[in-house]
Amino acid sequence: MSNVGHVNGSAISARPRLLMVARMHYELPLSPALTRKFDALRERFTLRVLAAGGAAGPSDDGVFRLVGRGGRLDGLLFYLLLPGHVRRIVREFRPEAVVAQSPYEAALIRLARVRAKLIVEVHGDWRTATRMYGSPLRRALSPVADAIALWGLRHADAVRSISPYTSALVREQGLEPIAEFATYSDLGRFLDSPTVPLPEQPAALFIGVLERYKNVDGLANAWRAAAPRVPDATLRLVGRGTQPEIPTQLLRDVPGQTEWVERLTPEEVATALDAATCLVLPSRSEGLGRVLIEAFLRGRPAIGMAVGGIRDVIEDGVNGLLVSSDAELAEALVRVLSDRELAARLAEGAAASAARWYATPDDFADNLAGVVRRTLSAS
């Protein structure tokens, strides 16, 4: 049987050679969850991955090539050196298609003069990278960064979005996504055990990085206003980042009703959700909000800002509440944490809506294979 197909006169191999380029950090050997994802991809592609590496461990296993490890300058060095890394791996591997994790990687891949078809993924609003993340000094780079990202987006052969919101961002630039589907996340651990009833002690849970785009400062202000009205309730914060002073001060301002831990294992996240009445996601920008899906799989409703991809996941009054300001966030926290009947009804809606967002590694790999084949077959 031939291993080559023909579409519109172009030869497409049964397992196209695919290079994936991402700023995301990986460590080798991969975790079991990531192994399942990339095993599914390797069944459909001859695969190479160029990404950022961790602080230690191997940097090349024949599939993954991890670069960076530049300490505090790791991010800057990754992007400055990326065209050279791309050129080297392209000479060795000769990919038919390249998938870039964001418009930034796509722009630098084009600068490397790669002839393979370029597919760029849009996971969120790329403009937040300099405006709502990391040091405030990043904001000075916004005009240049925006221009680079937009150039990369427009010079790709295809664009894949992850949600209706990110599809709209692409369409604002006069482009049409070739497909829309979420990136695979290992959600199976949230299905390993039956869901449990809401806790007797009302509690809200925030899980996310302590960065400006997550609006942790707004959540802190909302909790200062809400906590006195729900004296038996707690807010648990899980996360670390460049704004640790916010939870630190909140612990002082609302002692006894506030908890903070910097990190939980994936298994501990499921346990934390079970101990919560609701999840709260107050982000100023969000491409989709994976943690919302995790909460729904554990039968927990969510309170979220009516922005970005959060609106694609939360149905107001069905599986959670949508709010438009920090003041509304405070009111929503009081409502859900003081009205068990409301919380239970929203929890039922959350559990019922979870299946829409759940996908297996094979589902994701099949979707990506379809994108690659359509891109390769296009003239």
Listed in sequence order, the residues at least 6 apart from 351 whose beta carbon sits closer than 8 Å to its beta carbon are 195, 296, 297, 299
For residue 232, pLDDT over 80 is answered with yes
Residues 132 and 232 in one domain: no
Model pLDDT, residue 9: 42
Task: Mark whether 49 and 173 lie in a shared domain.
Answer: yes
User: In total, how many domains does the chain have?
Assistant: 2
pLDDT digits (tens, 9 = 90+) for 89-147: 999 999 999 999 999 999 999 999 999 999 999 998 888 765 656 566 667 777 888 89
Q: What is the pLDDT of residue 236?
A: 98
CATH number at residue 337: 3.40.50.2000
Residue 11 has pLDDT above 90, yes or no: no
> Within a 10 A sphere around the Cβ of 53, how many other Cβ atoms?
22
Q: Among 246, 239, 244, 225, which Cα is nearest to 279's? A: 239
Distance of alpha carbon 132 from alpha carbon 233, whole angstroms = 30
Domain match, 221 and 288 both:
yes
My answer on whether 180 and 136 are in the same domain is yes
Are 213 and 285 contacting, i.e. CB atoms less than 8 angstroms apart? yes
pLDDT value at 249 more than 50: yes
Summarised one tens digit per residue, pLDDT across range 30-78 is: 988 899 999 999 999 999 999 998 666 668 999 999 987 656 667 778 8
Give me the amino acid identity at 75.
G
Contact 211, 134 (CB under 8 A): yes
Shared domain check, 179 and 90? yes
Each residue's pLDDT tens digit, 258-294: 999 999 988 899 999 999 999 999 999 898 889 999 9
158 and 21 within one domain: yes
Average pLDDT, the chain: 91
Q: Answer yes or no: do 220 and 276 share one domain.
A: yes
Binning pLDDT at 50, 70 and 90, where does residue 217 land? very high
Do 162 and 192 lie in a common domain?
Answer: no
State whether 198 and 337 are in the same domain: yes
- What does the block give as tokens for 187? 């959600």
- pLDDT bin (cut points 50, 70, 90) of residue 3 is very low
Q: Order the strands of the 302-305 sheet from edge to edge.
A: 258-261, 234-238, 203-207, 278-281, 302-305, 320-323
Domain range spanning residue 15?
Answer: 4-184+359-377
The Cα–Cα gap between 52 and 279 comes to 31
pTM: 0.85
pLDDT for the residue numbered 49: 98
